[in-house]
Amino acid sequence: MCRPTHQRGDPGGCSSSAAGRWSAWVSGPSVSTAASVRVRCAAMVEQPFRLVVIGDSTSFTDDTGPKLPNDKALYPNVLAARIEAAVGRPVAVNVLARAGTDVREAWRLVAKDRHAQFEVLMGADAVVVGVGSIDHAPAGIPAIVETMIPFLRPESVRRIVRKNVYGAHPYLVRATAGRFTHTAPAEFARLYDSVLFQVRSLARGAAGVTLGPTSHRSRFYGKGHPTLRAREAMQREIAERHGFPFVSAWDIVEPHADRLNPDGIHWPHTAHQEVAEALADRLIAQVRGEAGRPQPPSF
């Protein structure tokens, strides 16, 4: 019988110094030191590095549309491949995301979803928090109005209201100069702070990084995004206060803006690759002990 002694952050090397700890768990007193080490290595291979991505549609959509979770061009999978090459262990990726995930939904996920809390985050070796894009998107109408539309009855009324509201949206955004966003800044700050606090509480010292918002510059959003940089700076400050390094998505994606999806939001493969590389640099440094990690909060 073998019991692994792998600790979070160990990149997976197998050394003879661990043999003594293992020999007691290998049946028979005559098992050699080399055999003990081989058993330890085999056991560690069975323990994949667990990468968790809390994101939105940018984690599963490229410039042509939504993709299957195992698409190798998506940034979570590119990131997993980089980490696997760096630490010498297989990487299991768990992406918790849906189209339009905002900070309130992310908070509900980490604060109320038992599966996400205790079966996903609590066992994570590394966590990416990549929400905020839709929160900072220009809004022509209050978010509560859009939220209520699906509940309108009868169906014919709902369709008419949706068509007219969405048709007027770009004109309303331009009329208000893009000052209003999906989530008010103070509310975003409160909820984002809570999300990161909860991730720190559950992941208990896992490597972590935050991904900033991407821009919304399509016709639907008035072809402009004047509040993006101010909101990005606010998000960065909150992330760094919690000990998470911050990667600016738009700094990486903007050079590829002419190749975005027609919705003005989703990225081509080259942007996914570059975002993943930036995230990998931060996470691998933490896994190797070259940079600090987000620490569990003190209660």
In the chain, what are the domains?
A: 1-47 (no CATH), 48-138+181-287 (3.40.50.1110), 143-175 (no CATH)
Buried-state track 272-288, b at ≥16 Cβ within 10 A, e below 16: bbbbbebbbebbbbbbe
pLDDT tens digit at each of 299 positions of the chain: 444 444 444 444 444 333 333 333 334 444 456 555 555 555 455 699 999 999 999 999 999 999 999 999 999 999 999 999 999 999 999 999 999 999 999 999 999 999 999 999 999 999 999 999 999 999 988 888 888 999 999 999 999 999 999 999 999 999 988 889 999 999 999 999 999 999 999 999 999 999 999 998 888 888 889 999 999 999 999 999 999 999 999 999 999 999 999 888 999 999 999 999 999 999 999 999 999 999 999 87
pTM: 0.83
Nearest to 40 by CA among 59, 21, 64, 68: 21
Given this model, what pLDDT does residue 36 score? 57
Task: Answer for the pair 84, 45: CB distance below 8 angstroms, yes or no.
Answer: no
Residues constituting the chain: 299
If phi over 0 gives left and psi between -120 and 50 gives alpha, with beta otherwise, what is residue 51?
A: beta
pLDDT at 23: 35
Other beta carbons within 10 Å of 42: 12
- Per-residue HEC secondary structure of 163-181 comes to HHHHHHHHHHHHHCCCCCE
The predicted pLDDT at position 220 comes to 86
- Nearest in space to 139 (alpha carbons), one of 93, 103, 104, 173: 173
Q: What secondary structure does DSSP assign to 211-244, as a single string? A: E-PPP--SGGGTT--TTHHHHHHHHHHHHHHTT-
Residue type, 174: R
Say if residue 110 is exposed, middle or buried (CB neighbours under 10 Å; 0-12, 13-18, 19+): buried
Q: How far is CA 223 from the centre of its chain?
A: 26
Cβ pair 265, 63 in contact under 8 A: no
Local structure of 91: helix, strand or coil: strand
